[in-house]
Structure 1
Amino acid sequence: MIKISAPRAVLAVLLTGTMAAAGIGGVWEYIHRDRTAPTPPTETTAHTDADHVLEELAPTLNASGNPVNVVPAIIPTFIPDVPKNATGDYLIAHFAQSQNDWRTASDYLSGVLKRDPNNIELIRRAMVLALGSGDFTLAAQRAEMITQAQDPTASDQDPLAYLILSSNAIVNGQYDEAIAVLNRLPKGDMAEFVVPLLANWARVGNGTYNQAELAGTTIHAYHGGLMAQYLKKDKSEIETFARVIIQPSGLTAEEYERAADLFALAGNKKEALEIYTALRDEDIGSALVHEKIEALKDDKDIIPLLASHRIATPAQGAAQAVFDLARILFQENSDASARVFANMALGLDPNLAEARIILATSSARSKQYQDALKQFDKIPQTHPAWAEAQYAAADMLDQSGQTDEAVRRLRTMYDIHRDVDALARIGDIYRGHEMYDKALVEYNAAIDALGGDVPDEYWHLLYARGMCLEQVGDWPAAEKDLLAALKFRPDQPYLLNYLGYGWADQGKNLDQSLELIARALELQPNDGYITDSLGWVHYKFGQYPEAVKHLERAVELLPYDPTINDHLGDAYWAVGRKNEARFQWERARNFADTTEDAELIITLGDKLQNGLPSSGQTKPAIKAASTNPVDTAQ
């Protein structure tokens, strides 16, 4: 059994399988912000302004030795002197960039540069903005101006300029020139990470590579395997790189899948299949894992499912390497830096759809929705990432208030491609808006399209439909679906919790309910909703001291949840701690939403005035998912 590093798996899954993740796709979308879903993680604000994101270089390495902060020093943080007659345009450019409107920022700064063409600091900033806006050619021209103006022996060389120029040389087939430029890159962590990747893809253009330089991190080893495959080296070389990847502990799902891909390329189907199967069984890995398993089991050609299939030139290999850097930065919410490197990757390979997904998602985060849609729509239907891009576009449209357009886009996908996932996602959208009857229509249609029998990879349809059935009051049918889903995933904590909580709410199977929720809490000990469920079932049993213990812990984990505070108040009242009970009910009322929790507010007012009758119990309210699905992951 492979061991996945849980915190890092969240980051890896985000873009695994072309954003199967990202926040888009994957079974975890069905439980986001559900009453019985995992406790939401603390949100981090995505860095979007290069002025603020990129301070002095201070890289950190993850468990595999891959950098998670390699770029900070390369984008200038200064405010250069500008001509007085250009101050207005400069400020407009600066404001546009702060709003993540890179194109406008680049255009206005270009105007400033025309009035002060020899200002090296302006050229640096203009280079960054040109690349961030997607103009790789213009960025390369400005990079050339910077390197020509600098003393090659000076200590303040511009790393980004050299990376742009080396990438441009690789695109033009000037492999020796690319290596020479990379050799001028200032020494440091950035060079140690990037140079072996780009220099060796340039060497591949000359028919060779340096195997010893490609064992430093899992990313280096993966690209070593891709290079060996490209150069038609002995399969044992490819397998050597696969084994380098799996050596560290605490690998992400993506790192395991990449190792499996290399094992498959090397002809080691047994080890590849073992890893793919483990990823599938834990509901992690890319959207292609199931297809890879079927290809190996049926002795079909797996190559079209692997990234190596899309590397026909050294430039495309180098693009994958630069994209890996963009992906790491994106996962760390360094959006400005991720955008720069995603566009550099597209400069190397304009067809690299995964880079467009990063750009689109970054734009969507910044509410630049039209820019995001343009990136999504540039991905051709023939590309493996097309479907995931359309799902992401639909999620974005829904979140921006264009729900009808989101549904239309998904409906078209199903009508043309008979894409069952598109129907499921329409159901998710309706469920997120608490339109449960409409959601049921879509989930039923999806299951019918599968022939009526739900296969393993679609178990989550039963979970989603079960939640909707519970919300419309059809508990017998909901229970049937939830039990069927549990046969597929007997250790899925949020499914265990949902069913156990549902039984407790119905006042039935209380012993089993307690067992299921206790098992869920064992699997997710720091989840506030599951902890609350366990406390509430103890309350249903009349085991009030035990209920207090768990409900106090739940309030620690989710201090602002009105329902959980209400539950703790009830438990306090039951054990005679009436002042503390009223305090919790007051907190619950203060935290309640006047629209969503209107009924709860009335109930709380009555409790504050009258307390609870000696045998009184409040009825728990199971909240179904209320927002569009996103990956909440492991």
Structure 2
Amino acid sequence: MPELTQRATTGRLPLLLVLALLPCLLSNSCASSRPARLAYAGKSLSPEAEGAYQFLVYQDLLRQGKKDEAAKVLAGLNQSQPSPETAVELANLQWGQNEREAATKTLETAAATYPDSRQLVLYLASAYQMRRMPDAAVAALTRFVTAHPGDAQAVRELASLLEEAGRHKEALDTLSRIPEDGRDATTLYLMAKASAGLGRKDAAIALLRRAVAADAALTAAWTELGALLEEKGDLAGAEDCYRKMLAQDEDSPEVRAKLARVLIRQKKPDRAVKYLEEGPPDKARLLDAMSALLEAGYVKQARQVLARLAAAIPDSPDLPFYQAVIAYEGDKKPKEALAILAKVPPENPNFDKALSFRIQLTSEMGNFAAAQALATEARNRFPDRKEFPALEAVLYDKRGDTAQAAVILKEATATWPEDMDLLYRYGVALEKLKRHDEAKAVMEKILDKDPTNPDALNYLGYSLAEEGKDLETALAMIQTALAKEPDNPFFLDSLAWTLHKLGRNAEALAAIERAIARGVKDAVIWEHYGDITAAAGKKAEAQKAYRTALELGSDNPGDVKKKLGAL
């Protein structure tokens, strides 16, 4: 609830009342209010003077910290001499005392009495929003805008709520009510947001350019414009956008980080580092830039950024961890990274991350026994962290002991029964152990808790397709999974395989080609690719697919070789 400006007292107070209140107003003391009230007692005041006096008493009590007494006085004033301003003041006081329902009720009652008060309606909508009642907030503002279609501020507030709720078309339609000559920078910005939400990126960019031309200080519009230009691939335009933002606020580490990322994407790492070094040493932004440099392969510049952080914050507990990241990601020296991580003491706040990294590196280097010991240490040190049993289960699975992995995951799901990732991992382990019915039951349990969980939907859909059962249901499940992850190659493979089983081979071929295009190295997917291309009469593609499946270590090489020989 926004803080309110104290209401100015209307009208002039009688001289006697002013003199009686003078000690109270000068001292702000608790003792002063009693003489003032005694001096006032028995005097006949006009309603206006009475209201002014009660408001001063309320303010005096508030200054003394007596909020409950102050609220009673103000509630009485709101009853005897109601006004939009008094209602807002009372609601704000109630909200500050965590009486949110009472504050909302105060505003609702006042809004019904004064439906033309924009201030009241805006406060009421704000209260609804903060109580997570967005539909009520929209309804309150809609009523006001319907009655006052020319109130541009109220129209903008309504559109902002609609946009926040993802109702982009309604937001744009609402803003379109504002005449062209009345559309200020904020209106244009909100129209751009709604247009972008509807996928109209070019229109959004044009509106944002108009918005920043109308108000160069509108940071939100610049930020949105830069992001859309980046998304469109106009990196030079985005760079220009962030430079103009930086010209307005040279100390903004966030803008410097955005500019640095755009420069990195344009293969200008040295200029990116220059901008970072010129700004304040913001740890989060420097680490973000370092990650971007490493991802792009600029190891030297990543070191420069880390050196900047080390010089600015020499005792930062993050330094050893990120030194190890550079050694591993940049220099491809896992042993050196391990040596750095081993020196991270348990009291370091990044010790858990360092331990997790050590487990990963040790496992990658093939030392599963050492990795297992580290995983056990991690589980003992951090019993409340679910990622460590998951890591230990992965290690057992890699060593060929999937049964022990399943035991660990079963225990973890008992500790964290609402964690869908752990449940899914457990289901996969059961599937690998050929305990199909149990695996299916786990996946169904996931869907009971999360009906749109893409992994469980894909698993069950693919299982039905493999069994050749209820293929239409299988197809619907897999399509729902793909709606959440449209480029997941495993989901695309499931889709292709189900379509193939349904005899819809042209669609199956299109789906499996999308999966292969993702660069996936999975023997099953390549075998499916071979089956589908063979059915389509594409002999050369099928031969290549089967050979690739064999190279990737197919679980049934004999069957794949037979298919290859039959072509």
Task: Give me the TM-score of the superposition, normalised by structure 1.
Answer: 0.44
Higher RCO structure, 1 or 2 (CA under 8 Å, sep 6+): 1
Task: Give me the TM-score of the superposition, normalised by structure 2.
Answer: 0.49
Q: Which of 1 and 2 has greater Rg?
A: 2
Give the structure with the higher percent helix.
2
